[in-house]
Structure 1
Amino acid sequence: MSENNSRRRFLKQSLLAAGALPLVSAPFAATAQPSQLPKFHIFSKHLQFLNYADAASVAAELGFDGVDWSVRPNGHVLPERVETDLPKAVEALKRAGLSPLLMTTAVGDSTDATDQRLLKTTAALGFRYYRMNWYRYLPNQSMPEALRMYEEKMIGLGKLNKELNLIGCYQNHAGELVGASVWELWQMLKNADLQHTGVQYDIRHATVEGGLSWKNGLRLLRPHIKTIVLKDFRWAKLNGRWAVENTPIGEGMVDFTSYFKLLKQYDLNVPVSVHLEYPLGGAENGATSLSIDKKVVFEAMKRDLRKLKALWEAA
C-alpha cells in the first residue's frame, strides 16, 4: 500500500506541477455537453517511459477517456507476452477508472498463430478495436496483384474479427506503404466484412497525401471509418529539402475546423487515438527513458487534448 501511495503522490505532484487538469473525479467538468465529444485516447507509444499503472493513471489525470495500448514489437506490451502482460495493462486501466477499447498491433494475417493468439487474448479482455500492421508492395509483384492479395487478407481477418467480435482497422499512412492512397484502402476493403473491418482514418497523413482533395478521400472512406487518429504537421525546408515536420495540434496545416465539421455532418463520432509525433525528448518515438523532464510531456498531452476539445466544440 505504501508503494501505491507513493506512486499516487508522485503522479499528482508531477501533473499539478505541469498545470494539469483536476483529478479524475471531474475530467470534463468544464465542457458544456461532454457526451457530444469523441472519446479521446492517448497513444501509449508516448508513455512507454512509464509502467502500466503509471501510464493509466497519467491518462486519467490528464482527462483522457482511455489508452490506445501499443501491443506490437518494441511496444508497451510485447506480442510474445500478450497473455501475461496485457491483463496487467487492462487492470491498470480499470484501477484508474478507464476501460479497455483501443490497441495498436502488428496483426496482418488471420492464419498467423501469433496474430490469432493476440486477438483472442484481446477479445477476452474486452477490447473492441485494434489497428493492424501496414502492408508493403513486393518488388516481384505488380501493384494491382499486391492489392488483390491484401484484399484476401482483409477478408480473412474480417472473418476472424467477426468470430471474436472485434473490429480491425487499417491506418492510411503517407509514403510508400500500401494504403497511402485512399483508393488503395477502398480496393482492399470493398469485399471485407464492413462491420468488423475498416479504417483508422488519419487526417494528418490524409492531408500530406491528399493536399486539397482530402475531403474527397474522407467521403470515399466514410462507410469504413471505425476509429481516427489526430495529429498535426507542416511542410518545412530542412537541409535544403522540403519535408514533413510534425507539430502540436493547431500549429500545423491540418484544417481541423473543416474536418470536424465534416465528421459531425457525417455523424462520425468514433473513438480517437491522440498522437504526439513532434519532438518530446524521445516520447514521440516510444522511448523508455527521456532526455527531458516528464512533466514537459504531460503538459504537451494536456495542451493537445485541450486544443482538440476546443476545436471540436467550435466546429
Structure 2
Amino acid sequence: MNRRDFVKQTALSASLIPFWDFSNNIFTLPETDKLEINIFSKQLQFLDYYSLGEIAAEIGFAGVDLTVRPKGHVLPENVRTDLPKAMEAIRKSGSNCKMITTVIESVNNPIDVAILESASAANIPYYRPNWFKYKDGLSMEDSLLSYQKNIKKLGELNKKLGLIGCYQNHAGIDVGSSFWEIKKILETVDPAYFGVQYDVRHSMVEGGNSWINGLKLLHQNIKTIVLKDFKWGKVNGKWEAINVPIGEGMVDFNSYFKLLKGYKVKPLVSLHLEYDLGGAEKGDRTLSVDKKVVFDAMKRDLTEVQRLWQKA
C-alpha cells in the first residue's frame, strides 16, 4: 500500500527539561537496530499538544500514539478541527504521530467516519478501534460474525482513505481476549487494511504459556504492537495482574523479541506506562506527583525496551 512519507523533524527544545542528560549508548544504536517506539499519549494528557510532542522528542521517542477518544487529547466530536491543530503542534515540536487510539466501531457512525477521514487528511496511517463486546441475545459465534461484518466494512473504508485498522488483543471478557476471536473477526477483511495491534502483556495474562501459539496464529496480521509489563499479586486479598515498569515483571521480552525477529516482524510500537505515576497512568490531567516522575519513567522504559530488543 502506498502511503505518504513522513518527514522526521529533529529540532529539539532545551527549555522543557534542560537538566536531563540523554547520553546513553542505547540511543546511539544504528536506526536499523532500534524499534520505532511511540509514547501512548494517555500518560501525558496533562500536557498540551506542543508540549506532548516536545517531551516525546526530547526523550527519544519516534513519535506519539495520540488518544482521539472521550477524555483523550482530541475529543471525537471535535476531531475535524482539533486533530489538524494537534498534528501541527506535534510536528512543530520536533515529533510525529503515525498512530491514534480511538473508540471507532462502525462506518455507520458519522463521528467514527469523521475520525477516519481526519486521520487520512493528517497523514496518520494507523488507528486502534474500540474493543467489541459480546451482544446480549446473540450467541458468541453470532456476535463474532456480526463484528466480522463491521471490520470488513471498516477495511473497505480504510482502503479508500489509505488507513490501517489495528484491533488490540486485551485481557478480560470482551472480544479479543482469545487469539481465536481475533482470527475469526479478521477472516473476511482485506489484511492490507486491517490487522492486529498485538499486546504481549495481555497475551501473557490470558495465554499463560500458550501465548506463543497465539503469536504464531496472528503474527502475519500484526500491524502495530503495544509494550508494557505486569506481575501477579494480591490487591485487597484478590489476585490481580499488576502493571510494573518494563523488565520488572513477568513478560518474557527475550523470547517475545526473538520470535518477532524470527517472523521478521518489526512493527510500529506504542509504549504504555500503566503503573502508578500519580494519575498519569489513568490519563489524569492533574497529577499528584511532579511531572519529572513521569518523564523519568518514560526514559527508563524506552531505554530498557531498546536494550532488550538489541539483546534478543
* TM-score calculated relative to the size of structure 2: 0.93
Distance 1:50 1:156 in 2: 35
Change (3 A) 1:226 1:240: same
Letter in 2 for 1:54: S
Name the structure 2 match of 1:96: 93
Question: Contact between 1:20 and 1:299, CA under 8 Å: does it hold in 2?
Answer: no
Question: Contact between 1:45 and 1:286, CA under 8 Å: does it hold in 2?
Answer: yes
Distance 1:98 1:32 in 2: 19
Name the structure 2 match of 1:5: none
Name the structure 2 match of 1:229: 226
- The structure 1 residue matched to 2:191, chosen from 190, 194, 198, is 194
User: 1:12, CA displacement in angstroms?
Assistant: 2.7
Change (3 A) 1:297 1:156: same
Question: Contact between 2:53 and 2:64, CA under 8 Å: does it hold in 1?
Answer: yes
Matches of residues 296-307 of structure 1 in structure 2 within 5 Å?
296-307=293-304
- Work out the percentage of aligned pairs sharing the same amino acid: 52
Secondary structure in 2 matching 1:11: coil
Letter in 1 for 2:281: E
User: 1:30, CA displacement in angstroms?
Assistant: 4.0
Secondary structure in 2 matching 1:127: coil
Letter in 2 for 1:176: I
Letter in 1 for 2:126: Y
Name the structure 1 match of 2:172: 175
Distance 1:309 1:67 in 2: 17
Matches of residues 198-209 of structure 1 in structure 2 within 5 Å?
198-209=195-206
User: Once superposed, what is the RMSD of the aligned Cα atoms?
Assistant: 1.5
User: 1:302, CA displacement in angstroms?
Assistant: 0.3
Question: Contact between 2:26 and 2:303, CA under 8 Å: does it hold in 1?
Answer: no
Letter in 1 for 2:206: E
Distance 1:187 1:143 in 2: 11
Change (3 A) 1:77 1:242: same
* TM-score calculated relative to the size of structure 1: 0.92
- The structure 1 residue matched to 2:32, chosen from 10, 27, 35, is 35
Between the two proteins, the alignment pairs up a number of residues equal to 301
Name the structure 2 match of 1:288: 285
Letter in 1 for 2:110: A
Question: Contact between 1:172 and 1:200, CA under 8 Å: does it hold in 2?
Answer: yes
Distance 1:162 1:223 in 2: 19
1:281-308 Cα distance to aligned partner (Å, 9 max, x none)? 0000000110000000000000000000
Q: Which runs of 5+ in 2 are unaligned?
A: 1-12
